[in-house]
Amino acid sequence: MGTSRSGLSTNIHASFDALGNPVRLILTPDQACEYSVAPALLEGFARNAGRGDKGYDATAPRDIIRAVGAEPVIPPRKNRLDVIQVDWHSHKDRNLVQRFF
């Protein structure tokens, strides 16, 4: 558990299969960086795409996803300077993950 101004809190990070079933859950303190758990989430899975929300928009998670042979499908943050192409049709599959939470 981590502490923040609002008290004790945690983040739940998860990996899902193509059908939306959770295959790995990792808890971190709320103040921990979201993409610091990306290697642990991806380890041991064969995949063709790594989907994430804007919290995972950084060079390190994108490089980790590419290292396992997958294509990152992560929308860019508003303040990102370089243009990132996103397969928005594939990104829509994240709704399975959102409904889990």
DSSP 2-27: EEETTEEEEEEEEEE-TTS-EEEEEE
- Confidence class of residue 2 from pLDDT cuts 50, 70 and 90? low
Question: 71 is in which domain, residue-wise?
Answer: 2-100
Q: Inform me whether the pLDDT recorded for 3 exceeds 70.
A: no
Quick: pLDDT tens for 53-99.
Answer: 787 788 888 888 888 788 888 888 888 888 888 888 777 777 777 78
- Tokens matching residue 18: 């193509």
- Which of 11-15, 42-46, 56-60 shows the lowest mean pLDDT across its residues? 42-46
Domain count, the chain: 1
Query: Is the distance from CB of 56 to CB of 13 less than 8 angstroms?
Result: no
